[in-house]
Amino acid sequence: MPHTVSAVIPFRKSEPEERFSLRYSLAEHAEAIPRRRSTTELVNFCHRMALAYLHVKAANGHFDASRFGLTINDVAYDAIADVFQRDASGCFVVIRSFVERSALLRKCLTKRCLQNAEDW
């Protein structure tokens, strides 16, 4: 049975449009085909995270993008590309799967916590 994203990733609908909200963006991308601006914001957010991670790896001597003939910026985009894979209907399959698994995990953890509380 599919879970609704709003139960998994609660957010305030009164958040200003111009402020990026990861929670809202994931919910929007998991339930429907999102606005283009929302997708751009999510791609930019993920790219910045990947870029930061790669810069740390490079600074520690564990990564050199030039070995692949690429810039670190290109590698960051390549690293996040699979997250934005779409199915035939245009839905983001990886994001939807992540949100659905998160819902299942949250449900299991809540159930387990309630069981433990009864045992105390």
Is 96 inside a domain boundary?
yes
Among 11-20, 42-51, 82-91, the minimum mean pLDDT is found in 11-20
Q: What total number of domains does the chain contain? A: 1
For residue 18, pLDDT over 50 is answered with yes
| Predicted model pTM | 0.71
% of the chain exceeding 70 in pLDDT: 81
Higher pLDDT among residues 14 and 26, named by residue: 26
12 inside domain:
no
pLDDT at 101 exceeding the cut of 50: yes
- Domain assignment present for residue 60? The answer is yes
On whether residue 1 sits in a domain, the answer given is: no
Cα–Cα distances in angstroms (integers) from residue 86 to residues 13, 40, 53, 71, 119, in the given order:
26, 15, 25, 26, 45
Residue 98 lies in a domain: yes
Domain that holds residue 57: 20-119
Residue 104 domain flag: yes
If you ran DSSP here, which 8-state letter would residue 62 be given?
S
Mean of the per-residue pLDDT values of the chain: 82
pLDDT in tens, 52-80: 999 999 999 999 999 989 999 999 999 99
